[in-house]
Amino acid sequence: MLDTKDLLIAREFPAIQRRPLDILQVNLGYLCNLSCTHCHVNAGPRRTELMDKETIDIILDVIKARDVKTLDLTGGAPEMNPHFRYLVTEARKLDVEVIDRCNITILMEPGYEDLAQFLADQKVVVVASLPCYTQENVDAQRGKGVFDGSIAGLHKLNALGYGKSDSGLELNLVYNPGGAFLPPAQEKLKADYQERLKQDWDIDFNDLYTITNMPISRFGSMLISKGQFNDYMQLLLDNHQDANLETVMCRNTISVDYQGNLYDCDFNQMLDMPCESDKGQRRHIADLVNDDLDGEQIKVAGHCFGCTAGAGSSCGGALS
């Protein structure tokens, strides 16, 4: 796989600083039941990296010490970590909002048949990747049969109340472009999703997040192999909006890898651009027990234009 790190580090991006920590985004490991072409963490069924319980217990200590408001769980398929349910249960006891970035098909896998019920019982917010409302596009991006599995999983969540008004169970979908272009307007696309999914499959959901593809990992490698990397970077640069710098997610979010190392965002994690102390040492999740890194400089490079182009992009969708 071709690496875009050196190409991205060579590009300058405006300086930005951290604000007080609100969101702890934790990557529980790279093991996944899927191998999607847009996956920026290169996750898949053969990956073995998983966070251990000792690190998870430190995360719970940090939640208590730093008054973290949201625990955002990602992977891979975060549910495949053997300590996933322990972490969710203990975090919910602390009255922290828990987000599960779920690929939906995992709900239909053998051994995970009761996962949807567990998520509902714990009132976990489900953020589900569904890059299109048509089978052809989804299977092309995520693998044959993924669309059918996603529809089945969404029906399972809807049956429990997810996506239904006044249920208290939030279901949000995620759109990623299927190529080297920016996402369309989020609200317009949300309306299209709602109409098509309801009409074709009787599926309800609460919100839609549009997320720009980052020129890293599998997607970055594809851009280079097709000779599209420079054109895509120019697209991001041409559409950069200074106003989006105020609300980029790295301002109040810390990303934690499966070993407990800290990064300004999930994308920096994949580029091995860690948070570091004044002495150049990697920061670890244990450091957050006493320090939330408020005011520290955020590490930036060319891929950051993916978060500021057009309407902006974050793990919570468009910024403007």
pLDDT single digits (tens) 214-270 = 999 888 988 999 999 999 999 999 999 999 999 999 999 999 999 999 999 999 998
Answer whether residue 210 is part of any domain.
yes
Answer whether residue 3 is part of any domain.
no
Answer whether residue 76 is part of any domain.
yes
Answer whether residue 234 is part of any domain.
no
Q: What is the pLDDT of residue 217?
A: 83
Residue 165: band (very low, low, confident or very high) from pLDDT cuts 50, 70, 90? confident
Residue 11: band (very low, low, confident or very high) from pLDDT cuts 50, 70, 90? very high
Its domain, for residue 196, covers 16-214+242-299
Q: CATH number, domain at 191? A: 3.20.20.70
Answer whether residue 253 is part of any domain.
yes
CA distance linking residue 304 with residue 35, whole number of Å: 24
Answer whether residue 226 is part of any domain.
no
Q: What is the pLDDT of residue 37?
A: 57
In the structure encoding, which two tokens stand for residue 97, read together? 């909002």
Residue 210: band (very low, low, confident or very high) from pLDDT cuts 50, 70, 90? very high
Average pLDDT, the chain: 92
Answer whether residue 146 is part of any domain.
yes
* Cα distance from N-terminal residue to C-terminal residue, the chain: 34
CA distance linking residue 286 with residue 57, whole number of Å: 10
Residue 137: band (very low, low, confident or very high) from pLDDT cuts 50, 70, 90? confident
Strands, sheet with 207-210, edge to edge from the N-terminal-most edge strand: 207-210, 171-175, 125-129, 97-102, 70-74, 23-27, 253-256, 262-263
Residue 40: band (very low, low, confident or very high) from pLDDT cuts 50, 70, 90? low
Q: What is the pLDDT of residue 42?
A: 66
Is the pTM for the entire model greater than 0.75? yes
CA distance linking residue 74 with residue 81, whole number of Å: 10
Answer whether residue 10 is part of any domain.
no
Per the structure, the count of domains in the chain is 1
* Least confidently predicted of 21-35, 184-198, 250-264, 303-317: 21-35
Residue 35: band (very low, low, confident or very high) from pLDDT cuts 50, 70, 90? low
Which residues make beta-bridge pairs with 50?
29
